[in-house]
Chain A
């Protein structure tokens, strides 16, 4: 098969890119080794937040947040999105100073989406919070969505627009020539395209290695958990900490989703993750410090999925400096999936040879050299 663009990875980044490309007249094939949503796209913690993002990502995040509201039109599903203000807590004056500094930086850039909250406002947003919390920074427009529903909606929309989404088609090899790329799939077939998008998530490093363009993206297995329903306890407000690692998301149904960069050991080649319960025990201790009333909440499930991680915690979005026509989009571990719609758009722009509507210079693949 032939197409203008070959996309490796049927997760959200790959499908979002494909959707925008076909909307602009390009043809695309998506190669997915499992099914869309099998790994990080379908199993992340569901956070749709601007709050707490690296300053470099903020312009992209602010654009993306607007695009989340358009999902019923753009992908035919609301993706389960609902607003849950995200409150980043200061547990002491040092934390508060950090948040104030961030707020100042954002203001100077012209961004007003994150607002400083004093003790009183913190209590109003989250009445059950521990007394030691001194203040916070809140983003009232942040929220949560359903990762699996979103993954399936994106893949279905891509297919409806004419993208070939080939599930169970692992990419065995890929090579570049003057005319573009030849990609061989696990069924033995070869596909040709003018451009190649590496949206392979945790496997992005393997794909880039096939083209002699190594990327420092490594697989990790972030580990999360969810409680049973504790209606009202979070007051619909999601929480993060400033000096310690914890993220608590208040799902609409009353459950609490817990993340914060906890990880489990794994065997990547055999795709096995040994869920490390000691990590979840650590998270539980922290949770009780922040919200003592969570004591009786029951932990219903731990889970984990492979994600691609980069040392500076900022993704790669851009064209390879070594292989023209190869575009990387990876390294979103611990980002939730808030950036998806905006990244799909700017990826499509650069693949089509346009300059992106938001500068991607901070996300260059060669920034690690």
Chain B
């Protein structure tokens, strides 16, 4: 199911804003350069980021300053990266961590 559109908007929506291409869950998306992965994803759609490994509930960014570990995504094949601390780069592969924990 396609997630709801983003709940956020770019304040400076000028067309000449520099963008990079990030591959999100296999599909290329164009996001503003210089932002974090968390901001890029929040600006893209309303999907969650990861599932709680304790209870499988959906989680998304909460503190956005590296403290809460709720914005974990897979970046370039490495799981559990804090999306709020990671700047976007051209060609970066990002995956949301959908797998249901069974522990």
* Residues of A participating in the B interface, judged by any CB pair closer than 8 Å: 228-229, 231-232, 253-254, 296, 298
Contact = CB atoms under 8 A, between A and B. Distances in A.
A284 to B, nearest CB: 16
B80 A298 contact: yes
Interface in B60-103: 78-80, 101-103
A254 B101 CA distance: 10
Nearest to B103: A254
B6 interface: no
Interface of B: 53-54, 78-80, 101-103
B102 A232 contact: yes
Can you list the 8 inter-chain pairs with the closest CB atoms, starting with the nearest? Answer: A254-B103, A231-B103, A229-B103, A229-B53, A231-B102, A296-B79, A253-B103, A298-B80
Contacts of B101: 229, 231, 254
A231 B79 CA distance: 15
Contacts of A229: 53-54, 101, 103
Nearest to A233: B103
Given A296-B78, A296-B79, 13 more contacts: A228-B53, A228-B80, A229-B53, A229-B101, A229-B103, A231-B101, A232-B103, A253-B103, A254-B53, A254-B101, A254-B103, A296-B80, A298-B80
Nearest to B77: A296
Residue picked from B78, B80, B101, B103, most chain A C-beta under 10 Å: B103
Nearest to A232: B102
A38 to B, nearest CB: 27
17 contacts: A228-B53, A228-B80, A229-B53, A229-B54, A229-B101, A229-B103, A231-B101, A231-B102, A231-B103, A232-B102, A232-B103, A253-B103, A254-B53, A254-B101, A254-B103, A296-B78, A298-B80
Contacts of A254: 53, 101, 103
Nearest to A230: B103
Contacts of B103: 229, 231-232, 253-254
B71 to A, nearest CB: 15
A229 B54 CA distance: 8
A232 B102 CA distance: 8
A105 to B, nearest CB: 37
A254 B103 CA distance: 5
A229 B52 CA distance: 11
A254 B79 CA distance: 17
Contacts of B80: 228, 296, 298
Contacts of B53: 228-229, 254
Contacts of B54: 229
Contacts of B78: 296
A21 B80 CA distance: 51
B8 to A, nearest CB: 29
A104 to B, nearest CB: 38
A228 B80 CA distance: 11
Contacts of B102: 231-232
Contacts of A253: 103
A296 B75 CA distance: 12
Contacts of A298: 80
Nearest to A231: B103
Nearest to A255: B103
Contacts of A232: 102-103
B51 to A, nearest CB: 11
A232 B53 CA distance: 13
A252 to B, nearest CB: 8
Contacts of A228: 53, 80
Contacts of A296: 78-80
